[in-house]
Structure 1
Amino acid sequence: MPARIPSWAWVSGLTAGAVAAVAVLAVQAGHGPQPTAATARPSTSASAGAHHPAASPKPSTPPEPPAGSGTGRRVVYSLGQKRVWLMDVRGMPVRTFAVWPGTVNPDPGAYAISKRTETGTGSDGVRIEHVLYFAGKAGVFVAFSNAVDGASPPPVAPDVKTGGVRTGKADGAALWTFAAKATRVVVVA
């Protein structure tokens, strides 16, 4: 009479096989085609004084990242376009969105995310989240962030030094997920 295999051995074997199959499928999914997100803009808010950087209609296709913005996985920030692109390892944009820059802009060049802070208060007094520091200029830290309530920042007096590059709430969450500490940030004019 053949030896009988205990039920715990069957369950363990089936579980190990299922975990291995899921791992193989996850690796295969990571190498497949990646979706590209449509252009997302920071949302306007019901807050009084909300200001949107562009009043033009939403473009049908997202703008291309600026030429000369590097290669590989990185965040590209265009000062002139007031726009950010999240670029994958192949150098393809996975998301792009408009931003509201502060009054202090970083110089064009390559930087890296140096510090991440989940929540805080911006220099304009607004509660912010997803704060990603990447540069400094004139004694002011420059960081991406979004308002906790999703509001766009009201216009700031030009004599107030602010280094926050404000995003919409969903864009801030996407940027937070994408940009770990030491992620490259390329700033172009």
Structure 2
Amino acid sequence: MYIIAGLGNPTMQYEGTRHNAGFDVIDALADKYNISVDGRKNRAYIGKGIIEGQKVLLVKPQTYMNLSGESIGGLVDYFKIDEEQDLIVIYDDISLSPGQIRIRKKGSAGGHNGIKNIIAHLGTQVFPRIKVGVGEKPKKYDLADYVLSHFTKAERKEMEEGYQKAIQAVEKILAGEMEAAMNEFNRKVKPKEA
């Protein structure tokens, strides 16, 4: 079984913010594959289903972003999965343009507190992840304020396209095509002219 975890913050006030891009991808996956993510386990909303012939557990931790590892680490232990192969973490990245995605097999937290906490709880930074671009923080903007801000209408359209790319990436990874997914989605995309 695979655990596919999207990161975000619970409660209505954070819905649709940049930091909740991971939750938005999980919602889009759940819609496409008709998976109800309404079960509760280990401080997360979960939903079991099948994607690309693989059993999956879709996960939305409810611990708030900075404590994501508490929830995900517990689920990895409970379901006895191999996090180096069978865990996929999806989260926002401010170094990528809105809707651009990047896939990694492993890596550091890169300043992302949710990933930092997951690494601390798993004891490894070797686990697949899909970063979803939410746009670069404007100068003079506080980082926390920026990631908790909402998308513009134009950005929202790019994000919807990005969520579809993230779904395609998940499908390829589950089909055993990690390298193909990386080759397809990790290309540099020029930012659109304003």
Note whether the superposition's TM-score is higher than 0.5. Answer: no
Tell me which interval the TM-score lies in, with the shorter structure as reference length. under 0.3
| TM-score, normalised by the number of residues in structure 1 | 0.26
More helix, by proportion: 2
More strand, by proportion: 1
Q: Which has the larger radius of gyration?
A: 1
| TM-score, normalised by the number of residues in structure 2 | 0.25
